[in-house]
Copies of this chain bind each other. A is one copy, B any other.
Amino acid sequence: MPLSLIKTVGVIGTGVIGASWTALFLAKGLKVIVTDPAPEAEAKLRDYLQKNCAKIPNAQVTINDCFKNLRFVKDIDAYLGDVDLIQENGPERLDFKRRLFAHLDAKTPEHVLIASSSSGLPSSEFVTECTNKPARILIGHPFNPPHLVPLVEVVPHPGTGDEYVTAACQFYRSLGKDPVVVKQEAPGFIANRLQAALCAEAYSLISRGVISAEDLDKTMTSGLGLRWALTGPIMTNALGGGGDFNHFIDHLGPAFKSWLDDMHQHQFKLDSPEEIGNVKGRVNDWVSRVNLEEVEKKRDEALVDLVRNK
């Protein structure tokens, strides 16, 4: 499936993620055939595109052309012969995805790559009833908002063909995205696991009153996060070791271990209504005083600058 042949993308589901993918595909000049069973879905999507297509970095067509290349259909079955790639964004329910993928696999020509935006369910769990060509199915998990954040986690299931992993990465890269390959189906993939590991400790520190929610965020936005936006955790370790990762881990490993042991003793219990209530109270004390619309608007503007300058 040479990349030059990907001219038309099928998008299934136009919630937050599906709408954002649609905006990106259209802005890059692709034709998009899109479906969503929700009432008002088409009107909401058009409204979203109107607001967001023009903001996409390196857009290749005008907003008018975006709308010309969009086709919203009630039932996508009749169009499955016309698409070169499908990006699926349905609900994260196993029974739903199993039925949907069995159907898509049966009805879509064999050469068409089918990617799921699933943020948690590994595809091995929902290709179980695909009897046509499950080798062309994989996860292409974007990061919110997908039209601004470059990361896509490409996660094959054990039966996915390597050529489809390569093709998916090439396709996403051609849109200006930055794909990574997750070689085994770990629950939560990579970024969400890293996020959960850090957030669990953040919740513990806040609920124990070690630091306020506002200051916790500041340790990231004025410290750790500034470095991690530019060099990831591993390169940051290596630079911290004077260019030598071995020196870093030999030198700081014992300290990391002692901190982790202490964290383990104060582990936040995500299934404890009392601990959850405690962190909610402390977080909301701060968040309720903040103009979130303004924060989000500034964040999105800064995100565009940051991605452009990298």
Question: A residues near B, CB below 8 A?
Answer: 120, 143-144, 149-151, 153, 178, 180-184, 186-188, 190-202, 205-206, 208-213, 215-235, 237-240, 243, 245-246, 249, 253-260, 262-263, 270-271, 276, 279-280, 283-284, 286-287, 290, 292-293, 295-296, 298-299, 302-303, 305-307, 309-310
Contact = CB atoms under 8 A, between A and B. Distances in A.
A195 to B, nearest CB: 6
A178 B215 CA distance: 10
A183 B209 contact: yes
Contacts of A149: 222-223, 226-227
Given A149-B222, A210-B190, A253-B276, A197 B197 contact: yes
A200 B197 contact: yes
Given A186-B205, A202-B233, 17 more contacts: A151-B222, A180-B218, A183-B211, A184-B208, A186-B262, A192-B259, A193-B259, A199-B237, A217-B232, A225-B225, A228-B228, A231-B295, A239-B295, A239-B296, A245-B287, A246-B284, A306-B306
Contact of A219 (B183, B218, B232, B295): B232
Contacts of A178: 218, 222-223
- Dominant SS among interface residues on chain A: helix
Contacts of A307: 226
Given A218-B178, A232-B218, A306 B226 contact: yes
Given A186-B210, A194-B219, A246-B284, A200 B260 contact: yes
17 contacts: A149-B226, A150-B222, A186-B205, A194-B198, A194-B224, A196-B256, A198-B198, A200-B260, A213-B234, A217-B232, A221-B229, A221-B232, A226-B306, A234-B287, A238-B283, A238-B287, A239-B295
